[in-house]
Amino acid sequence: MLSTKVTCNSHGQDSSYFLGWEEYEKNPYDEVKNPKGIIQMGLAENQLSFDLLESWLENHPQPSAFKNQKNQSIFKELALFQDYHGLPAFKNALVKFMSEIRGNTVTFDANNLVLTAGATSANETLMFCLANPGDAFLLPTPYYPGFDRDLKWRTGAEIVPIHCSSINGFKITKSALEDAYKQAEKQKLKVKGVLVTNPSNPLGTSLTLHELDLLVNFISSKNIHLISDEIYSGTVFRSPSFISIMEVLKNKNLMNSEISKRVHIVYSLSKDLGLPGFRIGAIYSNDARVVSAATKMSSFGLVSSQTQYLLSEILSDYNFTKSYLSENRQRLKERHEKLVKGLKTSGITCLDSNSGLFCWVDMRHLLSSNTFEGEMELWKKIVYEVGLNISPGSSCHCSEPGWFRVCFANMSEQTLDVAMQRIRSFVDSLAKKNMSRHQQLMNRNSRRTKSLPKWVFELSFHQRDVSADER
Ligand SMILES: Cc1ncc(COP(=O)(O)O)c(C=O)c1O
């Protein structure tokens, strides 16, 4: 009775990424009411700096009461018709905020900005603008699981993975880009572009200048687009510092070139300001045709007027944004260190990272087999027995089993402590089990050796000598 679009499974709802959320919803951890519940560590939410925003709101009560700075009501203006170009004051404040995050090394023009209901809508809108159904975008793995839904589901576009590996810390290489392109050609897919997340979700690392150079050279040689999802740009809490694709274009003197028209940025306030519920996203493009098409499309996912008004007031307070960004980075840094140290005491290491709301955690040594079945087995144990919802690497299309994304900014410090204790006792119990299995094996072997007749022993020693001589 329903359309093929809604009944096809390219939404990705059955991915372990979303299944983990469902398990958490059934049994959510609460320090007092449900201390044995599941702790949500699969949600890239930033709850570390709410107090800063709350105290700003307390000191500036007018915007949330639909009043201007003269204390006059603007309720009617906000409630009546909004066209899809967005409030100029908000767009101006947002482009300044984006520049500030990039250390004012680049400036953005508000005329090139399209507002969307979050980065989810921005990414999908760009797909609608740049790709026909059946065209492909190349994405480095591991990537944000939501992309399967956002880029493919309604647009009919395809994703072809650029396989990155732990050997070089999951960096993008020229050969990985070329291989992905060839793979798409093999599948008879027309490649329309590359989409990267900088900084990366789930790696928590920002792209190096070398990787960014590779990407610009690649899209220019293949005559395709580059989308840079920079939703985590304000979360870079330690060196190396963040380099936006716009900076690379500027430094290469490509700002007014044809190539720059094929480079588009996606941004949102969901992570840097921790406001995913407000649905504030944006597309930034140097191509006026893309801006115009995306603006028309944004009718399907506008940011409400009162949200734009409130945020234009917050973001225009430059002293506030400056101190917010620096304090938020400091808090993320401390939280990140706490998670890395906590895991280390359990013998678990993370990919060295400088940004994001999560760590990319190496649990390969805890797998029963070096397979994705082994990864799922471990993931289920961690969700159901340990009580932590983390995201398995397979849900991010990682090509190697045993990696997990673990979020650290969506909970209190106490909850993170409980999570670390749970991991520690899990790893200890695994070690004990392995020890006793090893002991049993040793005992069985020694019983077997004792029961063997003497001649078997002599024969085996003799054979070992012979084979040693042969070597
Ligand atoms: C890389 C990336 N892009 C886009 C999104 C979606 O963000 P929004 O809440 O702004 O739609 C996320 C959310 O986790 C993300 O990690």
How many angstroms is it from 147 CA to the middle of ligand 1?
Answer: 9
Distances (CA, A) of 297 to 68, 84, 185: 30, 9, 30
Q: Cβ atoms within 10 A of the Cβ of 138, count? A: 28
Residue nearest atom 4 in ligand 1 by C-alpha distance: 119
- Looking at per-residue pLDDT, the higher value among 7 and 157 belongs to 157
Are 114 and 282 a contacting pair, CB within 8 Å? yes
Cis peptide before 145 (omega within 30 of 0): no
pLDDT above 90 for 196: yes
**Best of 47, 139, 144 for a ligand 1 pocket test (most atoms within 8 Å of beta carbon):** 144
Position 81 scores a pLDDT of 72
Residue nearest atom 13 in ligand 1 by C-alpha distance: 44
Give me the phi and psi of 10, to 5 degrees please.
-80, 0
Distances (CA, A) of 450 to 444, 453, 459: 10, 8, 15
pLDDT tens track for 238-272: 999 999 999 999 999 999 899 999 999 999 999 99
Q: 370-376 long-range contacts, Cβ below 8 Å, gap at least 24?
A: 370/401, 370/402, 371/401, 372/401, 374/401, 374/402, 375/401, 375/402, 376/16
Position 458 scores a pLDDT of 46
Position 359 scores a pLDDT of 98
pLDDT tens track for 62-78: 999 999 989 999 999 99
Position 467 scores a pLDDT of 42
Strands 403-407 and 358-362: antiparallel
Question: Which of 143, 144, 181, 309 is flagged as catalytic?
Answer: 144
Under CATH, to which class is 4-49+327-427 assigned? alpha beta
Position 451 scores a pLDDT of 59
Position 17 scores a pLDDT of 74
Residues 6+ apart with CB under 8 A from 24: 38, 40, 42, 389
Are 418 and 34 a contacting pair, CB within 8 Å? no
Residue nearest atom 14 in ligand 1 by C-alpha distance: 44
How many angstroms is it from 273 CA to the middle of ligand 1?
Answer: 13
Q: Extract the tokens encoding 75.
A: 């309720």
Mean pLDDT of the chain: 93
pLDDT above 70 for 153: yes
Q: Is 229 a catalytic residue?
A: yes
**What distance in Å separates the CA atoms of residue 309 and residue 94, rounded to the nearest whole number?**
12
Position 443 scores a pLDDT of 79
Question: Which of 148, 150, 229, 362 is flagged as catalytic?
Answer: 229
pLDDT above 90 for 450: no
Q: Cβ atoms within 10 A of the Cβ of 301, count? A: 18
pLDDT tens track for 317-335: 999 999 999 999 999 999 9
Position 37 scores a pLDDT of 97
- As a whole number of Å, the CA-based R_g of the chain is 26
How many angstroms is it from 168 CA to the middle of ligand 1?
Answer: 26
Report the CATH architecture of 51-321.
3-Layer(aba) Sandwich (3.40)
Q: Extract the tokens encoding 303.
A: 């940011």
pLDDT above 50 for 461: no
Question: Which of 91, 96, 192, 271 is flagged as catalytic?
Answer: 271
pLDDT classification of 5: cutoffs 50, 70, 90: confident
Residue type, 377: E
**What distance in Å separates the CA atoms of residue 75 and residue 339, rounded to the nearest whole number?**
45
**Best of 17, 18, 40, 120 for a ligand 1 pocket test (most atoms within 8 Å of beta carbon):** 120
The closest of 366, 373, 408 to 390, measured between CA atoms, is 408
Distances (CA, A) of 146 to 10, 16, 152, 201: 11, 12, 10, 10
pLDDT above 80 for 84: yes
The closest of 374, 384, 378 to 22, measured between CA atoms, is 384
Kindly give the residue spans of alpha helices, DSSP state H, lying in 223-357. 245-251, 258-261, 288-297, 305-315, 318-344
How many angstroms is it from 201 CA to the middle of ligand 1?
Answer: 9
Strands 263-268 and 225-229: parallel
DSSP secondary structure string for all residues of 135-189: -EEEEESS--TTHIIIIIITT--EEEEE---GGGTS---HHHHHHHHHHHHHTTP
Are 16 and 383 a contacting pair, CB within 8 Å? no
Global model pTM greater than 0.85: yes
Q: Extract the tokens encoding 86.
A: 């967005």
In the block, tokens 């992309």 appear at: 147
Percentage of the chain beyond pLDDT 70 is: 95
Do domains 4-49+327-427 and 51-321 share one topology? The answer is: no
Q: What residues are in contact with ligand 1 under a 6 Å CB criterion? A: 44, 118-120, 144, 146, 197, 201, 229, 231, 268, 270, 276, 281
In the block, tokens 């993320």 appear at: 332
The domain segmentation of the chain, as residue ranges, is: 4-49+327-427, 51-321, 428-470
How many angstroms is it from 161 CA to the middle of ligand 1?
Answer: 19
pLDDT tens track for 135-145: 999 999 999 99
Residue nearest atom 3 in ligand 1 by C-alpha distance: 119
Question: Which of 101, 227, 231, 382 is flagged as catalytic?
Answer: 231
pLDDT tens track for 220-242: 999 999 999 999 999 999 999 99
Beta strands in 32-84 (DSSP E): 39-40
How many angstroms is it from 116 CA to the middle of ligand 1?
Answer: 12
